[in-house]
Amino acid sequence: MIMSDRNLALLAAVEQVCGKEYHSYCLRHLTENFLKKAAKYGIQKEATKQIVKEMLYRVTYAPTAAEFNVALEELRGYKAELSAWVNDSEPEQWAASKFGKERWGRMNNNVIES
């Protein structure tokens, strides 16, 4: 399994060499991108950013498809544009209920970046 920040060059290279099914996206980088998108929709205050971040984490860590859908619906009810962002960001490459390969408990690559 390879984990990355969705760099365009890496996306193409990993898919060519390993196959897309082995490429997981780093939750830390995904969260940064998610919060940037949230800011474009008026979510600026730290408390509000924390709320949508926790919603994203519920989507991410949901162990089943049903729980993923419930968490995504909760996010959609709060801000539909953010749930659309989740769907557009290939959750099958990062969401626990959708990524089909073992991640050994890792959702981010902080360990190797420190």
Highest mean pLDDT among 16-20, 36-40, 94-98: 36-40
CA distances from 16 to 13, 33, 51 (A): 5, 25, 37
Domain parsing of the chain, residue ranges: 2-113
pLDDT score, position 84: 97
| C-alpha dihedral sign at 38, 78, 97, 47 | positive
pLDDT score, position 110: 47
Mean pLDDT of all residues in 14-35 = 73
40-92: pLDDT as tens digits: 999 999 999 999 999 999 999 999 999 999 999 999 999 999 999 999 988 98
Global confidence as pTM:
0.76
CA dihedral 5, 23, 86, 39 (to 10 degrees): 0
pLDDT score, position 26: 78
CA distances from 27 to 16, 42, 77, 95 (A): 22, 22, 22, 9
- Distance in angstroms (rounded) separating the CA atoms of residues 38 and 34: 6
For the chain, the average pLDDT equals 80
Q: Does residue 111 have a pLDDT over 50?
A: no
pLDDT score, position 87: 95
